[in-house]
Amino acid sequence: MDFLWVLLFMAVIGAVIGGFTNHLAIKMLFRPHTAKYIGNWRVPFTPGLIPKRRDELAVQLGRTVTNYLLTPDTFRKRLLTPEMAAKAEQFIQSRLEKEVLHSERTLTQWLELAGVSDLDVTVERRAGELIDSKILAAKAAMLSGTVEETVPEKWLLQAEAHIPTVTSYVLAKGDQFVDSFEGKVMFQRLITDFLESKGTLGGMVKMFFGDSNSLVEKVQREAKKFIAAPGTTELIEKMLQTEWDKLKQRPMEELAGGFDWDGLGNSLRTYLLKELDVKNRLEQPLVHYWPTGAEWTATHLTPQVVEFAFAQAEKQLEHSLKRLKLDQIVKEQVDTFPVAVLEDLVLGISKREFKMITVLGAALGGMIGIVQGLIVYFTNLT
């Protein structure tokens, strides 16, 4: 019976020693947090292992994060996927439609956001200046040369091609006038005035022809023959052609110099600025001018932007991660952690395992105590 009590006592002692030493070893990983001194003598094993090796732990943790956790492949597999591209495209398109394409903001408000104000006044002023300058330039160009030099050649050829038409029109109207009552009255008056101006000779001619109406009819017939004669057409065409050639050589200043250019400029300026109506046009939202903007951007803009962004991100990913220096960031962050935080971090993850290590130490110590007790017992027997 005494042997069993001794054996049990040694097992308990061994278990207590084994459990306590393991528990102490675990605690010494973190405790004490700072070095302890007796005078100038630093107490051995202070601070604990992790506080003492904190810098090395931070460096190693940073390397582990960059080499095994936050690697370029990790970002590619997690972020640069077709699913993420679709979500990004959907998000960008929805924000684009809400904030821009379907926004109630007017063009004036958008310009004000960009730092541009009173654009309508500026545009109207610039447009007025442009109109005035163009009118002055047109005036100078039109009045600087002859008709032939100023008027476009195509217009001149078209006008010249209408000379036969004008000739036919003039002869037709002349023939109609000769046959008309007005023509008869005119011929009668001309004949009467002519005969009266010749005195006795005119009276004799009037007596010879008798009634003036018959004389007028004869003149009308002769006038119609003259108008219908081929030579008349050729004569009038030649006259028109000659006058047209003279007209082409005349300076434009003679023909249009007295034109009211200032009045024309003011009228054009007023009309164009009224039609331009910049202020009211700028008070419309973007959707007013681009109602199909959402459909167009969803098809032609957003997919290409997302595709380009993802392609560039994939190309620059490794280089960007190197420039970020994640290992240095992790090291700096770990260096700022209080030791108590590191302790809580490690114990929070491995608390159960540390307890099992303590229990295992106690169990091993108990077993060692039993073995020692058996060794003592058998040694005493011999």
Whether residues 263 and 127 share a domain: the answer is yes
Same domain, 91 and 27: yes
Does the pLDDT at position 229 exceed 90? Answer: no
Q: 367 falls in which pLDDT band (50, 70, 90)? A: confident
The CA–CA distances, whole Å, from 267 to 131, 185, 270, 276 equal: 11, 46, 5, 14
Residue 207 has pLDDT above 60, yes or no: no
Query: pTM of the prediction?
Result: 0.53
Q: Which of the four pLDDT bands, split at 50, 70 and 90, describes residue 301?
A: very high
Question: Does 82 fall in a domain?
Answer: yes
Token pair listed for 39: 């005078």
Q: How many Cα atoms occupy the beta-carbon half-sphere of 41 within 13 Å?
A: 3
In a domain, 192, yes or no: yes
CB atoms inside a 10 Å sphere around CB 114: 9
State which residues form the domain around 309. 1-104+285-372
Based on its alpha-carbon atoms, the radius of gyration of the chain, rounded to whole angstroms, reads: 57
pLDDT confidence band for 118 (50 / 70 / 90) = confident
- Looking at 221, 244, 267, which one is the last position of a domain? 244
Q: In this predicted structure, what is the pLDDT of residue 198? A: 57
Evaluate if residue 236 carries a pLDDT over 60. Answer: yes
Same domain, 169 and 237: yes
In the predicted structure, residue 193 carries a pLDDT above the cut 80? no
pLDDT higher than threshold 70 for residue 2: no
φ, ψ for residue 45 (rounded to 5)? 65, 25
Does residue 276 share a domain with residue 138? yes
Domain boundary among 212, 244, 276: 244
Same domain membership, residue 133 and residue 59: no
Per-residue pLDDT band at 351 (split at 50, 70, 90): low
Specify whether the CB–CB gap between 54 and 33 falls below 8 A. no
Query: Do 259 and 239 share a structural domain?
Result: no
**Same domain for 141 and 178:** no
For 135-187, what is each residue's pLDDT tens digit?
Answer: 888 777 777 778 887 778 888 888 888 888 888 888 888 888 878 888 777 77
Is the model more confident about 339 or about 76?
Answer: 76
- What is the per-residue pLDDT for 156? 83
The reply to whether 141 and 255 lie within a common domain is: yes
Structure tokens given for 124: 């109207």
Distance CA 364, CA 366 (A): 5
Burial of 305 per CB tally in 10 Å (0-12, 13-18, 19+):
middle
> Looking at the domain assignment, is residue 109 inside a domain?
no
The full 3-state SS of the chain, as one line of letters, equals CHHHHHHHHHHHHHHHHHHHHHHHHHHHCCCCCCCCEECCEECCCCCCHHHHCHHHHHHHHHHHHHHHHCCHHHHHHHCCCHHHHHHHHHHHHHHHHHHHHCCCCEHHHHHHHCCCCCHHHHHHHHHHHHHHHHHHHHHHHHHCCEHHHHCCHHHHHHHHHCHHHHHHHHHHHHHHHHHCHHHHHHHHHHHHHHHHHCCHHHHHHHHHHCCHHHHHHHHHHHHHHHHHCHHHHHHHHHHHHHHHHHHHHCEHHHHHCCCCHHHHHHHHHHHHHHHHCHHHHHCCEHHHHCCCHHHHHHHHHHHHHHHHHHHHHHHHHHHHHHHHCHHHHHHHHHHHCCHHHHHHHHHHHHHHHHHHHHHHHHHHHHHHHHHHHHHHHHHHHC
Does the pLDDT value for residue 91 go beyond 90? yes
Residue 110 belongs to a domain: no
Which are the contacts of 184, defined by CB distance < 8 A and separation ≥ 6?
Answer: 216, 220
In a domain, 380, yes or no: no
Looking at 237-241, 318-322, 341-345, 370-374, which range is the least confident one?
Answer: 341-345
- Using CA atoms, how far residue 150 sits from 90, 135, 240, in Å, is 60, 15, 21
CA distances from 50 to 67, 135, 328 (A): 22, 87, 19
Question: Looking at residue 305, what is its pLDDT?
Answer: 92
Q: What percent of the chain has pLDDT over 70?
A: 82
Contact 6, 344 (CB under 8 A): no
> In the prediction, which pLDDT does 14 show?
79
pLDDT above 90 (res 206): no
Amino acid of residue 248? K
Is there a domain that residue 381 lies in?
A: no
C-alpha to C-alpha distance for 379 and 382, rounded to whole angstroms: 5
Asked if residue 167 is part of any domain, the answer here is yes
Sign of CA dihedral 48, 51, 55, 56: positive
Whose CA is closest to 9, among 370, 368, 375, 313? Answer: 370
Confidence of residue 220 (pLDDT cuts 50, 70, 90): confident
Same domain, 203 and 216: yes
* Domain-embedded: residue 359: yes
| 277 and 291, same domain (yes or no) | no
CA proximity to 218, closest of 182, 191, 200: 191
Confirm if 296 and 96 have CB atoms less than 8 A apart: no
Are 279 and 295 in a shared domain? no
Per the structure, how many domains does the chain have? 3
The average pLDDT across 6-15 equals: 79
Stronger pLDDT, 19 or 210, i.e. the higher one: 19
Residues 179 and 233 in one domain: yes
Instruction: Write down which residue in 213, 244, 275 finishes a domain.
Output: 244
Separation CA 265–CA 134 (nearest Å): 9
The per-residue pLDDT for 94 is 93
